[in-house]
């Protein structure tokens, strides 16, 4: 573990030494501390641009760290209770893909819920693993997918004893947690690795009254989005490993896809943010929980909104709930979540995280204050007064169970043709379709297109969801396998 105290930030401190030394740059980047690009300096500031530098001996190398980056990794591992921590500059997408590529090879089976982020299925396309989907439970009133029932995971393990890993979302975007400790126990009994997408659970490591973290639950690997609730710069993330994982091999896997020119702005932001959470995280996230509880109470006093919380916990498909998540069900005011999302931005200058067909998510974290929460509550009350309408005929389902016909890799690389969406019923999809955020595929390669999926895509498009994935930028055609 780290020889340095958690008050240290070795990458940041090395950059400060570098800046003070006024080194003459005959290396990249070509803006040369901003002198060659004054508009960039005007945008980001001299201090920021002056430390946008390349790897060099005093600053270590992300691909093979031996000094300050290695020290930062050791401090992060200690802070998160992990055996090893890797600093990731390709977002949690890169972390998730590295987890899967570290454990799965072609034709290996991996057990996972279908409501995963697209990065998971992208990794399966790359390595050729075979997904064994455990369809999540769905809350019919809220229209959201929940966690994996322990019984369903046990059945998948029993029926697929040759699977190499179990993948878990914990928490989901909506704050839903599965019974992670028991899933880890059941998987380890059959010598399967447990990989956790903990993109929305950074704070689990630094707060009381929060669900169990992946490392505490005994998971083998987990991906932690420091830039979400942890306060670092966008695109920065940690990949954590537990006991028994070969850190040298994981590093090799990371280096297959991660840049050799890691941004020191991102690396130093991870370093500083880890220090901030290690020193002040518990107190900070207690404030976030209190803010979220206050917001839920106030919003639930406005008729026809439902800001849901721990009352949903059922001990299985909702084993626990992340109390920092402020998710609000909007259908009872006659508006889809994406419509509320658009109105809040366009009419009230409030940007929330995302809206789906029935809910919105306001992401609360260490930078939020009570006055902003009060502004959101007031806006929701006014929005309801101005825009409420009859909800008859509105769709609510956020998750549709897929019909899997082929592996993602087989279908992604198969010969394809482009058809208008309405003519694709019964065909096998060759690409992704999803609303982003949250980036969970409605359709993934290898899945059959059904009437329900076609209706969902067209309805989501009509309501204003930001659809991504297909080759056709207008989302009017889909690529399907040629017959």
> What would the pLDDT profile of 188-238 be if each residue is shown by its tens digit?
999 999 999 999 999 999 988 899 999 999 999 999 999 999 999 999 999
pLDDT in tens, 264-320: 999 999 999 999 999 999 999 999 999 999 999 999 999 999 999 999 999 999 999
Residue 440: which residues within 8 A CB-CB, separation 6 or more?
A: 115, 116, 117, 118, 145, 173, 399, 434
Q: Which fold has domain 55-278?
A: 3.40.640
- pLDDT higher than 80, residue 451: yes
pLDDT in tens, 152-193: 999 999 999 999 999 999 999 999 999 999 999 999 999 999
Residue 73: which residues within 8 A CB-CB, separation 6 or more?
A: 65, 84, 85, 86, 87
CATH class of 408-481: alpha beta
| 3-state secondary structure at position 317 | coil
pLDDT in tens, 329-379: 999 999 999 999 999 999 999 999 999 989 999 999 999 999 999 999 999
pLDDT in tens, 251-266: 999 999 999 999 999 9
Position 59 scores a pLDDT of: 95
- pLDDT higher than 80, residue 145: yes
Return the domain boundaries, the chain. Answer: 55-278, 279-387, 408-481
CATH class of 279-387: alpha beta
The helix (run of H) or strand (run of E) holding residue 384 is: helix 370-387
More confident residue, 141 or 376: 376
- pLDDT higher than 70, residue 1: no
pLDDT category of residue 435 using cuts at 50, 70 and 90: confident
- pLDDT higher than 90, residue 448: yes
The helix (run of H) or strand (run of E) holding residue 339 is: helix 337-348
Position 136 scores a pLDDT of: 87
Q: How far apart are CA 396 and CA 474, in angstroms?
A: 23
Q: How far apart are CA 469 and CA 121, in angstroms?
A: 12
| Cβ atoms 257, 44 nearer than 8 A | no
More confident residue, 20 or 292: 292
């Amino acid at each position: 573990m780290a020889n340095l105290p958690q008050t240290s930030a070795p990458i940041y401190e090395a950059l400060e030494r570098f800046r003070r030394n006024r080194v003459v740059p005959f290396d990249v980047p070509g803006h040369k501390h901003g002198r060659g690009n004054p508009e960039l300096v005007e945008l980001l500031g001299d201090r920021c641009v002056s430390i946008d530098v390349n790897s060099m001996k005093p600053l270590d190398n992300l691909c093979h760290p031996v000094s300050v980056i290695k020290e930062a990794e050791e401090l992060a591992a200690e802070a998160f209770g992990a055996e090893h921590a890797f600093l990731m500059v390709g977002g949690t997408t890169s972390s998730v893909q590295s987890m899967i590529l570290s454990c799965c090879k072609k034709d290996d089976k991996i057990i996972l819920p279908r409501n995963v982020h697209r990065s998971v299925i992208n990794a399966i396309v790359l390595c050729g693993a075979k997904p064994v989907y455990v369809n999540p439970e769905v809350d019919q009133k809220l229209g959201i997918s929940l966690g994996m029932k322990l019984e369903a995971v046990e059945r998948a393990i029993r029926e697929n004893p040759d699977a190499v890993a179990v993948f878990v979302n914990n928490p989901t975007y909506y704050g839903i947690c599965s019974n992670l400790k028991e899933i880890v126990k059941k998987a380890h009994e059959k010598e399967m690795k447990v990989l956790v997408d903990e993109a929305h659970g950074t704070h689990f490591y630094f707060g009381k009254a929060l669900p169990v973290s992946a490392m505490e639950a005994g998971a083998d690997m987990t991906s932690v989005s420091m830039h979400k609730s942890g306060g670092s710069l966008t695109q920065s993330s940690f990949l954590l490993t537990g006991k028994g994982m070969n850190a040298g091999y994981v590093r090799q896997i990371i280096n297959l896809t991660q840049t050799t020119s890691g941004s020191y702005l991102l690396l130093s932001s991870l370093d500083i943010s880890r220090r901030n959470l290690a020193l002040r995280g518990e107190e900070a996230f207690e404030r976030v929980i209190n803010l979220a509880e206050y917001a839920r109470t106030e919003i639930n006093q406005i008729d026809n909104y439902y800001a849901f919380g721990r009352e949903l916990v059922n001990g299985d498909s909702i084993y626990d709930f992340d109390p920092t998540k402020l998710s609000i069900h909007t259908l009872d005011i006659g508006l889809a979540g994406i419509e509320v999302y658009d109105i809040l931005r366009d009419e009230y200058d409030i940007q929330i995280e995302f809206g789906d067909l029935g809910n919105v998510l306001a992401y609360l974290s260490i930078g939020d204050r009570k006055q902003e929460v009060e502004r959101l509550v007031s806006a929701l009350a006014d929005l309801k007064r101005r825009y409420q309408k009859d909800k008859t005929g509105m769709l609510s389902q956020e998750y549709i169970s897929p019909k899997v016909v082929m592996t993602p890799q087989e279908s992604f690389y198969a010969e394809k043709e482009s058809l208008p969406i309405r003519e694709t019923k019964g065909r096998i999809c060759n690409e992704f379709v999803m609303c982003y955020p949250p980036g969970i595929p409605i359709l993934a390669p290898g899945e059959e297109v059904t009437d329900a999926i076609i209706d969902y895509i067209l309805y989501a498009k009509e309501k204003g969801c930001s659809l991504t994935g297909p080759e056709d930028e207008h989302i009017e055609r889909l690529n399907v396998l040629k017959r």
